[in-house]
Amino acid sequence: MASQSNYTDIGSAGEDLVVEWLQSNGWKILHRQWRCRRGEIDIVAQKDDPGEFAYSCASPILAFVEVKTRSAGSWDAGGRSAITVQKRTKLWQTARIFMATYPQTADYSYRFDVALVYCQRSPQSTTVPALLTSSFKDRRLMLVEYIPAAFDS
């Protein structure tokens, strides 16, 4: 059985991959693993040019990004079903504390994004389409889906 430390390392490597992808798409990373009394936000990112969201706002956008790194056979649909109502509530409460802590973000638009990262042993070939891939120890990490405004449905 893998140690808790190994899971943490793989989770951090998944977050590294998502940070790389966000930066390559014009996002500025404000914080990683931002913690407060209510919880943690994996990544807080800012985009000054709203781009595809120009119709809705002219102010910068904050993205509170939840990263789920999973391997084959995960019980939670690759991380999707781990975003429960309780998890959403906790993320929302944590984001509110973040915005209160950084009042300069009060006028920003914000959204909650979810990044799904797939992890497998490196020697295996895969047909999983990926937005970005990287390696970590003996594993290959693939950003397979990035869901902007994931909680708006």
pLDDT 10s digits, 105-148: 988 999 999 999 988 766 555 555 555 555 554 678 889 999 99
Pairing state between β 132-136 and 109-121: unpaired
Mean pLDDT, to the nearest integer, of 26-55? 87
Percent residues over pLDDT 70 in the chain: 69
Report the pLDDT value the prediction gives residue 33, as an integer from 0 to 100: 96
Report the pLDDT value the prediction gives residue 120, as an integer from 0 to 100: 78
pLDDT digits (tens, 9 = 90+) for 53-84: 544 557 899 999 999 988 766 555 555 666 78
Which token pair is 148? 């902007």
Q: Which of the listed ranges 84-93, 95-104, 124-133 does the model predict with the highest average pLDDT?
A: 95-104
Residue 56 exposed, middle or buried by CB count within 10 Å (0-12, 13-18, 19+): exposed
Q: Please say if the pLDDT value at position 5 is more than 70.
A: no
